[in-house]
Amino acid sequence: MHQIIIIGSGPAGLTAGIYAARAGLEPVLFASSVEPGGELMNTTDVENFPGFPEGIQGPELMEKIQAQAERFGTKVLYNDVTELDLDGDVKRVTDADGTVHEAKAVVFATGSAYRKLGIADEDRLSGHGVSWCATCDGFFFREKTIAVIGGGDSAMEEANFLTRFASKVYVIHRRDSLKASKIMQQRAFDNEKIEFIWNAEVTAIHGETEATGVALRDTVTGESRDLDLDGVFIAIGNDPRTHLVHGKVELTTDGTIAVEGRSSKTSVPGVFAAGDVIDPSYRQAITAAGSGTVAALDAEHYLVALEDK
């Protein structure tokens, strides 16, 4: 039986790995089979993670954090967790191969998943001109006209990045002001290839086999119009990835996992949560890393108390 199993390989999970490993707990960490490293793997320049004054690429940062976790003995498994049995002193974690892994404590750091617009066309045309990841798919839109939907930091970052390839990038936002931080906004305003379409809601994505444009509804006047495009990038935020623990641990009204005060303690003893999956407000790589630290320390204290029981 393991002391601790960590689920998730973003900054929260891997930082929990660093701390747990240095505490001699020999953590086993489940990274996803398809997208290990979490959301930073789809990011380009990370300019706000302390310690990198010149900035660092998201994937490189994750590589370094993972190397640090492994250096102290975190065992990273590239597999998916499919089921959790969290009751009692022995937690059971089932992976995609059906293997059951037992541990005394579990840290849940599964992050968040891209939010969808909720229109049928986005799934139908996903991978055919509709994307959630500029760094993955931007290359396919060389000299094309594309749109980014959203008004937050992600949308600004994607739009700026996509101007490296596309000849024109529209930013379509449902209001007349942005949610993004001032510096990210200014960078987008200063970019000649970016044009903003304000107060506009995407009601449909056109195209039979490839996206050819969108239908827009003006949120002020109610008027509709079509916009021809070669590609659509959706960057409207994320939702916490909690499906594995539904009905097993308490959630908040925001849909995040509920934790006790500033701790990582969930409603189930021995189960700790960290990172975006508990955070409806800050959601930064560095806050996730800090949160992973809290989870590892809480788990360590729990394990000591369990020994004494």
Q: Which residue is nearest to ligand NAP (CB)?
A: 152
Residue 286 Cα distances to 62, 156, 296, angstroms: 12, 20, 15
Closest distance between ligand NAP and the C-beta of residue 269, in Å?
Answer: 31
Residue type, 10: G
Enumerate residues 6+ apart whose C-beta is below 8 A from 307: none
Closest distance between ligand NAP and the C-beta of residue 27, in Å?
Answer: 26
Q: At what angle do helices 11-22 and 285-308 cross, to 10 degrees?
A: 40
Closest distance between ligand NAP and the C-beta of residue 108, in Å?
Answer: 20
Task: Name the residue nearer to ligand NAP (CB basis): 10 or 27.
Answer: 10
Q: CA 289 to CA 65: how far, in whole Å?
A: 10
Closest distance between ligand NAP and the C-beta of residue 282, in Å?
Answer: 6
Asked whether position 10 contacts ligand NAP by CB under 6 A, the answer is: no
Examine the residue annotation and report whether 230 is marked as an active-site residue of this protein: no
DSSP 8: -
Residue 75 Cα distances to 11, 25, 65, angstroms: 16, 11, 13
Q: How many residues bind ligand NAP (CB under 6 A)?
A: 18
Q: CA 245 to CA 242: how far, in whole Å?
A: 6
Task: Name the residue nearer to ligand NAP (CB basis): 168 or 179.
Answer: 179
The interface with ligand NAP within residues 217-246 (CB under 6 A) comprises 236-238
Mark out the alpha helices in the chain (DSSP H runs).
Answer: 11-22, 58-71, 120-124, 134-137, 153-162, 182-190, 285-308
Residue 79 Cα distances to 8, 35, 185, 294, angstroms: 10, 10, 38, 25
Q: The tokens of 28 are what? A: 């086993």
Stretch that binds ligand NAP, among 26-34, 56-64, 148-156, 266-274 (CB under 6 A): 148-156
Closest distance between ligand NAP and the C-beta of residue 169, in Å?
Answer: 16
Interface residue with ligand NAP among 122, 137, 157, 230 (CB under 6 A) is 157
Asked whether position 154 contacts ligand NAP by CB under 6 A, the answer is: yes
Asked whether position 151 contacts ligand NAP by CB under 6 A, the answer is: yes
Task: Name the residue nearer to ligand NAP (CB basis): 27 or 138.
Answer: 138
Q: CA 138 to CA 169: how far, in whole Å?
A: 11
Task: Name the residue nearer to ligand NAP (CB basis): 121 or 157.
Answer: 157
DSSP 75: E
Asked whether position 92 contacts ligand NAP by CB under 6 A, the answer is: no
Q: CA 266 to CA 245: how far, in whole Å?
A: 11
The interface with ligand NAP within residues 101-140 (CB under 6 A) comprises 115, 117
Enumerate residues 6+ apart whose C-beta is below 8 A from 84: 91, 92, 93, 94, 106, 244, 245, 248
Task: Name the residue nearer to ligand NAP (CB basis): 182 or 309.
Answer: 182
Interface residue with ligand NAP among 27, 38, 111, 152 (CB under 6 A) is 152
From residue 52 to residue 81, the character string flagging contacts with ligand NAP as x (rule: CB under 6 A) and all else as - is ------------------------------
Task: Name the residue nearer to ligand NAP (CB basis): 204 or 306.
Answer: 204
- Coil, strand, or helix at residue 253? coil
Examine the residue annotation and report whether 133 is marked as an active-site residue of this protein: yes
**In the complex, which residues of this chain contact ligand NAP (CB under 6 A)?**
48, 115, 117, 149-155, 157, 174-175, 179, 236-238, 283
Q: Which residues are catalytic?
A: 133, 136-137
